[in-house]
């Protein structure tokens, strides 16, 4: 496919990245026939469940020229316009533990403001002050208040509603719901991706395309405790791997430190700690200052790891998030209306009692490797959002940079696809290692709970070489069934699990979200090292 010649594009996934890519395609190239497929309904995505917000430096301006009002744990009268793109870049690099791609971080932070304006133009109802200015909150590891939120703690759903409405209004976007991606088509002579194979209504069919954009999200369902919806099963990553695409940084899986310890692992937003909530152990001791000077505002990897180590040391199963000092029911119900309702539904009054919380799998920093324009190692295949590894998150994602990444790099992928970028040199040939995993046919068929137990026991917040070896041996005994969508999803999780365990075993250090109890220190000489792999062809 020559640059800018795509006439038919398939977008896989209905989170923010997929929806925004489809809309940008229609505006950048109105003649393009866009098909957006999703295995559930358009609302079934990680985006819909995102609470905290979107990080962006607006250069001190809100919509319609209003100065943006800053909210955070320190409500002072300082010159809040002192925030800058350079500061956002520095915070992102610091959170990434030396493993970010600096050029990608520069792109992410510098292009943020214009995409926020695009969301506003689509009618996204970001929260505002009484004077009508955009309200900006503070979250962990950010040096300034720069987080836009909607509905207090329902940002993802608010953004998704606006994008879904725009997609449904566009007659040039064909939407196929309940369409499960089974594989990428790679039969062309030039080995380019030429479409997708999908399972819909019990029948297998193919969709030809000049380009495919994967926006299929992550794979939180790898772990027993996770904050992701059931659809997060790594389908795009697995399909890209089977097609031979390069994957990267799969050892870096972020665990959110504060999931409510109830069935379903309801996420308690980063913004709650941003407003001043603290973590207590079973004895009522505020323990985070013992582990990091930023305490509850430390990066997520630090807090999750500190909780895990503290629980192991004390022989306990959970810690507690104390929001009782934030202003009572009125404040909590106003600032966090969704959380206020949901905690009450589970029998908690968080205005008077601390909430029991545990770390839960939340976001995969690794994924299908892309360049700065969303291009993968396979011609005709692009990846955006959590399915991709752009390099912006490094070893640990900075809070509220995920939705932003989906916006920025979905737009850049469209620019590359339509010839609007200034770099048409093609995807650079990064070095990668060929891998081949066993493909047993007569062994135990993998079931979801068993796989999750293996990953939770040996490859979660803390890991060791011995535990990863056990996990690898157990995973090699599993095969995947294909009689149903759920079995296919579990097969995709099996691929994702094997890749994660392989990468985690290869990185013999601790860095960001990857913590090895047998190698607890960071290797100062290994910051630029990234494990990239592709699937070796069957003999």
**Burial tier of 338 (Cβ tally within 10 Å: 0-12, 13-18, 19+):** middle
**Burial tier of 420 (Cβ tally within 10 Å: 0-12, 13-18, 19+):** middle
DSSP assignment letter at 535: E
**Catalytic residue at 300?**
yes
Sign of the torsion angle spanned by Cα atoms 100, 101, 102, 103: negative
**Beta pairing class for 135-137 and 8-12:** unpaired
> 3-state DSSP call for residue 137?
strand
CA 384 to CA 414: how far, in whole Å?
10
> 3-state DSSP call for residue 483?
coil
Q: Give, for 89, the enclosing helix (H) or strand (E).
A: helix 85-95
Cα atoms in the 13 Å half-sphere on the side-chain side of 2: 1
Kindly name the residue from 300, 375, 516, 535 that is annotated as catalytic: 300
CB atoms within 10 A of CB 283: 8
CA 348 to CA 175: how far, in whole Å?
40
CA 450 to CA 209: how far, in whole Å?
37
Report how far apart, in Å, the C-alpha atoms of 30 and of each of 173, 414, 419 are: 10, 12, 14
> 3-state DSSP call for residue 516?
strand
> 3-state DSSP call for residue 107?
helix
CB atoms within 10 A of CB 341: 10
| Of 116, 153, 172, the residue nearest 407 (C-alpha) | 116
Expressed in percent and rounded to 5, the helix, strand and coil fractions of the chain are: 35, 20, 45
CA 506 to CA 520: how far, in whole Å?
14
For residues 306 and 278, the answer to whether their CB atoms sit within 8 Å is: no
**Burial tier of 92 (Cβ tally within 10 Å: 0-12, 13-18, 19+):** buried
151: left (phi over 0), alpha (psi -120 to 50) or beta: left
Q: Which residues are catalytic?
A: 300
């Amino acid at each position: 496919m020559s640059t800018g010649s795509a006439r038919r594009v398939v977008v896989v996934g209905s989170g923010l990245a997929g929806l925004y890519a489809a809309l940008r395609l229609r505006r950048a190239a109105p003649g393009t026939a866009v098909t957006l497929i999703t295995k559930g309904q358009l609302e079934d995505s990680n985006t819909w469940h995102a609470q905290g917000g979107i990080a962006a430096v607006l250069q001190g301006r809100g919509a319609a020229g209003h100065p943006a009002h800053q909210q955070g744990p320190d409500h002072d009268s300082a010159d809040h316009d002192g925030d800058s793109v350079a500061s956002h870049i520095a915070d992102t690099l610091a959170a990434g533990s030396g493993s970010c791609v600096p050029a990608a971080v520069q792109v992410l932070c510098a292009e943020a403001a214009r995409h926020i304006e695009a969301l506003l133009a689509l009618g996204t109802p970001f929260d505002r002050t009484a004077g009508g200015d955009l309200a900006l909150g503070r979250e962990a590891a950010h040096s300034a208040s720069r987080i836009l939120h909607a509905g207090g703690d329902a940002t993802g759903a608010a953004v998704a509603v606006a994008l879904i409405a725009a997609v449904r209004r566009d007659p040039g976007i064909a939407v196929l719901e309940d369409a499960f991606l089974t594989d990428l088509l790679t039969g062309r002579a030039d080995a380019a991706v030429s479409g997708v194979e999908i399972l819909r209504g019990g029948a297998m069919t193919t969709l030809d395309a000049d380009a495919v954009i994967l926006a299929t999200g992550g794979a939180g369902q790898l772990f027993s405790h996770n904050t992701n919806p059931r659809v997060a099963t790594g389908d795009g990553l697995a399909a890209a791997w089977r097609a031979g695409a390069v994957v990267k940084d799969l050892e870096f899986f972020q665990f959110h430190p504060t999931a409510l310890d109830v069935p379903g692992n309801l996420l308690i937003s980063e913004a709650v700690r941003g407003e001043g909530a603290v973590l207590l152990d079973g004895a009522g001791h505020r323990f985070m200052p013992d582990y990091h000077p930023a305490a509850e505002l430390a990066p997520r990897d630090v807090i999750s790891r500190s909780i895990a180590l503290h629980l192991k040391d004390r022989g306990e199963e959970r810690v507690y998030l104390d929001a009782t000092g934030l202003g009572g029911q009125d404040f909590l119900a106003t600032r966090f209306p969704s959380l206020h309702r949901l905690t009450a539904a589970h029998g908690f009054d968080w205005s008077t009692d601390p909430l029991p919380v545990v770390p839960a799998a939340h976001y995969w920093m690794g994924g299908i490797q892309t360049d700065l324009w969303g291009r993968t190692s396979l011609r005709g295949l692009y990846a955006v959002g959590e399915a991709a590894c752009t390099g912006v998150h490094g070893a640990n994602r900075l809070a509220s940079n995920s939705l932003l990444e989906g916006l920025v790099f979905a737009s850049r992928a469209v620019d590359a696809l339509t010839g609007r970028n200034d770099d048409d040199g093609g995807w650079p040939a990064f070095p990668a290692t060929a891998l081949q995993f066993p493909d047993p046919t007569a062994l135990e068929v993998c079931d979801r709970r068993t796989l999750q137990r293996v990953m939770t026991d040996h490859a979660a917040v803390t890991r060791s070489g011995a535990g990863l070896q056990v996990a690898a041996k157990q995973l090699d005994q599993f095969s995947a069934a294909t009689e149903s969508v759920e079995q296919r999803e579990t097969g995709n999780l099996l691929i994702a699990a094997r890749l994660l365990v392989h990468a985690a075993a290869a990185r013999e250090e601790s860095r960001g979200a990857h913590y090895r109890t047998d190698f607890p220190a960071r290797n100062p000489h290994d910051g630029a090292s990234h494990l990239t792999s592709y699937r070796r062809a069957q003999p």
